[in-house]
C-alpha cells in the first residue's frame, strides 16, 4: 500500500488551492508515448487504386422469366445468391399462382446480383459462373450509370469463371497482375456490389495462398470483407492489378466472418481464353479414381512419406488402363511435375490439352515405374458407373491366419475372372471383426495383401501367415468397378 506523510499531503493541498485560485487545471504528468510503427510508416492509401480500377468494375444484375404471380425461388435475390455460392440446394418452394393469372405471359423478374470487371475495351467482362448461371437476361451497369444487355459467351462451373459481352467500345479495362508475386500479408482491396451497393470498396490482407477448396483451382484466402453481391468482382493489389476474382466466403450466418476466397487470375485467364475462343473449356482426363495417401497407407506400402495420389480404381478402356496403371498404384509425378497432394493430380491433368502425350510416374510394390499415357478429354456429364458385387457362392471355412483378419475367402471361378477382367484375386464370402472395421464387405475381391498379389486362396493364406500381426496389414480389394486400399488391424 502506498503511504504519504502528513507534510507532503499539506503541501499538495496548498498547491491545488493555489491552482484553483489562479484558474489553472492540474493534470498529472504522463510519460511520453512512443509513436506506433504503423503511424511512422503511414497506413496504405487506397484512393489512387480506386480511381484507377474503379471505372472498370461493373454491377451485374440477372433476371428470369416467370409467370405473373409465381416466384421461381420464393426468396430475394441476395438470399438466392447466398444459397448458390455456398453449394446449398435452393429450397424447393411451391410456386404460388392465382387461377386468373395462369394464362398470362411470362415476365422478367429480378433474379440475382453480382459484380464483374472489364477485360478489354471492346466489352468483354469477366465474372463468376454462379452469378449468371440460369439467367434469362444479364444486365451490366457501368460506373457512369450506362446499362447494357450482355450476352453470355461462356461459363465454366468447375472453375466458377464466366465471360459476358456487352456492345460497347472504348471502355476502361483492368490490368492483370502476377499471382506468383503475391505474398501472404500483402494489402489487397475488393471492389464490388455487396447487397447491390455499387462500387463498394473493402480492404484487407492476403491471409493464405493455395487453399484447397476445389478440385481444379487452389484459391487465394483474404480477410477482405466480401458479401453476397461481391461475387465476380476483382481482388486488386497495391499496384492496381487484378490478382483474383472474389468468389467465396466462409460463413455460419450468411454474412462475412473474416475469411474470403478469390480465384487466382492466372487460372481465370486460362479459362476465359478458352471461353472466348470456343464458348467452352476442355480439360484432360486419364480415367482414375484417387484418394489421399494417409500416413498409415504410406507406411504399409513402404513409402518414405505420405505423398502422391492413391489410385482406387481404373476405368475400363480409359487412357490409364491402356497405359498399364493399376488400382493400388500411387501416382507421384505427372509429366515430370510432382504430385504432393491428391488434389494436385486432377489440376495437372485437367490443365493438359486432350490428345497430349505425357508420362505418369507411379510407386508400385516398392518400386518406381513410369508409364507413357495419352490424355483424353473429360466428359462434362461424367457419372460414376454403378457398382456391382461379384456373384455369391458356397462359403468355405476360413484358415486360422485369415480368421485373425476377420475374413473368409473363396476362389474366383473362370467366369468371374472373365467378367471382372482380373488375372487373380480371391472373393470375400464373410467379413467379421477386424476386416469389418476396416470397411471390407462380402462380395469384395481381394487382389493383394501386404503388397503381395494373390491369385488363389492358398497364396492368400500363405501371405497372411507370414505377415507381421503386430502391424496393420494393407489389403487392395475390388468392389464393383473400383478398387481401393484398406488397413486391417488384426485382432489380438
Kindly state the percentage of the chain with pLDDT values over 70.
Answer: 76
The burial class, CB within 10 Å (0-12 / 13-18 / 19+), for 362 is buried
CA distance 459 to 445: 14
Residue 145: pLDDT above 90?
yes
Residue 15: pLDDT above 80?
no
Check 231, 247, 300, 399 and give the catalytic one: 231
130 known member of a binding site: yes
* Contact predicate 112/135, CB 8 Å: yes
Lowest-confidence region among 108-122, 167-181, 260-274: 108-122
Q: Please provide the size of the chain in residues.
A: 492
229 known member of a binding site: yes
End-to-end CA distance of the chain: 67
Residue 251: pLDDT above 90?
no
Query: Predicted confidence band at 387 (pLDDT cuts at 50, 70, 90)?
Result: very low
Check 130, 156, 260, 444 and give the catalytic one: 130
* Predicted local distance difference test score (pLDDT) of residue 160: 92
Mean pLDDT over each residue of the chain, to the nearest integer: 80
272: cell is 476465359
Which one, of 447, 392, 444, lies nearest residue 423 by Cα? 447
CA distance 262 to 126: 13
Give the residue range(s) of CATH 2.30.42.10 domains in the chain: 284-377, 400-488
Mean pLDDT of 405-416: 84
Query: Predicted confidence band at 70 (pLDDT cuts at 50, 70, 90)?
Result: low
CATH of 178-278, one of 3.60.15.10, 2.40.10.10, 3.40.50.1260, 3.40.50.300: 2.40.10.10
* Contact predicate 19/26, CB 8 Å: yes
Annotated catalytic residue 160:
yes
Residue 389: pLDDT above 80?
no
Q: What is the pLDDT of residues 101-125, one digit of tens each?
A: 555 666 667 778 899 999 999 999 9
CA distance 486 to 296: 10
* Predicted local distance difference test score (pLDDT) of residue 434: 83
Annotated catalytic residue 273:
no
Mean pLDDT of 385-412: 58
Which one, of 266, 269, 272, lies nearest residue 181 by Cα? 266
Give the residue range(s) of CATH 2.40.10.10 domains in the chain: 54-93+105-165, 178-278
Higher pLDDT, 338 or 97: 338
Residue 391: pLDDT above 60?
no
Query: Predicted confidence band at 81 (pLDDT cuts at 50, 70, 90)?
Result: low
260 known member of a binding site: no
Annotated catalytic residue 231:
yes
CA distance 122 to 416: 62
160 known member of a binding site: yes
Query: Predicted confidence band at 208 (pLDDT cuts at 50, 70, 90)?
Result: very high
CATH of 54-93+105-165, one of 3.30.465.10, 3.30.1340.10, 3.30.300.30, 2.40.10.10: 2.40.10.10
Higher pLDDT, 375 or 313: 375
CATH T-level assignment (fold) for domain 400-488: Pdz3 Domain (2.30.42)
* Contact predicate 108/61, CB 8 Å: no
Mean pLDDT of 355-377: 93
Which residues partner with 108 through β-bridges? 65
The burial class, CB within 10 Å (0-12 / 13-18 / 19+), for 125 is buried
User: What single-letter DSSP state applies at residue 462?
Assistant: H
Q: What is the pTM of this model?
A: 0.64
Check 156, 160, 198, 444 and give the catalytic one: 160
CATH code of domain 284-377: 2.30.42.10
Residue 93: pLDDT above 60?
no
The string of DSSP codes covering 296-363 is HHHHHHT-SSS-SEEEEEE-TTSHHHHHT--TT-EEEEETTEE--STTHHHHHHHTSPTT-EEEEEEE
> Any residues with CB less than 8 A from the CB of 199 and at least 6 apart, and which?
54, 57, 59, 143, 191, 193
* Contact predicate 78/195, CB 8 Å: yes
Amino acid at each position: 500500500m502506498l503511504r504519504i506523510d502528513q507534510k507532503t499531503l499539506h503541501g499538495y493541498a496548498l498547491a491545488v488551492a493555489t491552482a484553483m485560485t489562479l484558474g489553472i487545471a492540474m493534470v498529472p504528468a504522463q510519460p511520453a508515448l512512443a509513436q506506433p510503427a504503423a503511424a511512422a510508416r503511414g497506413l496504405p492509401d487506397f484512393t489512387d487504386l480506386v480511381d484507377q480500377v474503379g471505372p472498370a468494375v461493373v454491377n451485374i444484375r440477372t433476371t428470369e422469366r416467370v409467370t405473373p404471380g409465381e416466384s421461381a425461388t420464393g426468396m430475394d435475390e441476395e438470399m438466392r445468391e447466398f444459397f448458390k455460392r455456398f453449394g446449398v440446394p435452393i429450397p424447393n418452394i411451391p410456386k404460388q399462382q392465382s387461377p386468373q393469372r395462369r394464362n398470362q405471359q411470362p415476365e422478367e423478374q429480378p433474379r440475382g446480383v453480382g459484380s464483374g470487371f472489364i477485360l478489354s475495351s471492346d466489352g468483354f467482362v469477366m465474372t463468376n459462373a454462379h452469378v449468371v448461371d440460369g439467367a434469362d437476361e444479364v444486365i451490366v451497369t457501368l460506373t457512369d450509370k450506362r446499362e447494357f444487355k450482355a450476352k453470355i459467351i461462356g461459363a465454366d462451373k468447375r472453375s466458377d469463371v464466366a465471360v459476358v459481352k456487352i456492345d460497347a467500345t472504348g471502355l476502361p479495362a483492368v490490368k492483370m497482375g502476377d499471382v506468383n508475386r503475391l505474398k501472404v500479408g500483402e494489402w489487397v482491396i475488393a471492389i464490388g456490389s455487396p447487397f447491390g451497393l455499387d462500387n463498394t470498396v473493402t480492404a484487407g490482407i492476403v491471409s493464405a495462398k493455395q487453399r484447397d477448396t476445389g478440385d481444379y483451382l487452389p484459391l487465394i484466402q483474404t480477410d477482405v470483407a466480401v458479401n453476397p453481391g461481391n461475387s465476380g468482382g476483382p481482388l486488386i493489389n497495391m499496384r492496381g492489378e487484378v490478382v483474383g476474382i472474389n468468389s467465396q466466403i466462409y460463413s455460419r450466418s450468411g454474412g462475412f466472418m473474416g475469411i474470403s476466397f478469390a480465384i487466382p487470375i492466372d487460372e481465370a485467364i486460362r479459362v476465359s481464353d478458352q471461353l472466348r475462343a470456343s464458348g467452352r473449356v476442355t480439360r484432360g482426363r486419364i480415367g482414375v479414381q484417387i484418394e489421399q495417401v494417409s500416413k498409415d497407407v504410406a507406411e504399409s506400402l513402404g513409402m518414405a512419406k505420405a505423398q502422391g495420389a492413391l489410385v482406387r480404381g481404373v476405368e475400363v478402356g480409359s487412357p490409364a488402363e491402356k497405359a498399364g496403371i493399376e488400382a493400388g498404384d500411387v501416382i507421384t509425378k505427372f509429366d515430370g511435375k510432382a504430385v504432393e497432394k491428391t488434389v494436385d493430380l486432377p489440376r495437372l491433368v485437367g490443365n493438359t490439352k486432350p490428345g497430349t502425350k505425357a508420362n505418369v510416374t507411379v510407386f508400385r510394390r516398392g518400386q518406381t515405374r513410369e508409364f507413357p499415357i495419352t490424355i483424353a478429354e473429360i466428359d462434362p456429364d461424367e457419372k460414376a458407373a454403378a457398382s456391382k458385387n461379384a456373384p455369391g457362392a458356397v462359403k468355405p471355412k476360413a484358415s486360422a491366419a485369415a480368421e485373425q483378419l476377420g475374413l473368409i475367402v473363396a476362389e474366383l471361378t473362370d467366369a468371374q475372372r472373365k467378367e471382372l477382367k482380373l488375372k487373380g484375386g480371391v472373393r470375400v464370402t464373410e467379413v467379421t471383426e477386424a476386416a469389418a472395421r476396416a470397411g471390407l464387405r462380402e462380395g469384395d475381391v481381394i487382389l493383394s495383401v501386404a503388397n503381395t498379389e494373390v491369385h488363389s486362396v492358398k497364396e492368400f493364406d500363405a501371405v497372411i501367415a507370414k505377415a507381421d500381426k503386430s502391424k496393420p496389414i494393407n489389403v487392395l480389394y475390388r468392389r464393383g468397378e473400383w478398387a481401393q486400399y484398406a488397413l486391417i488391424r488384426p485382432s489380438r
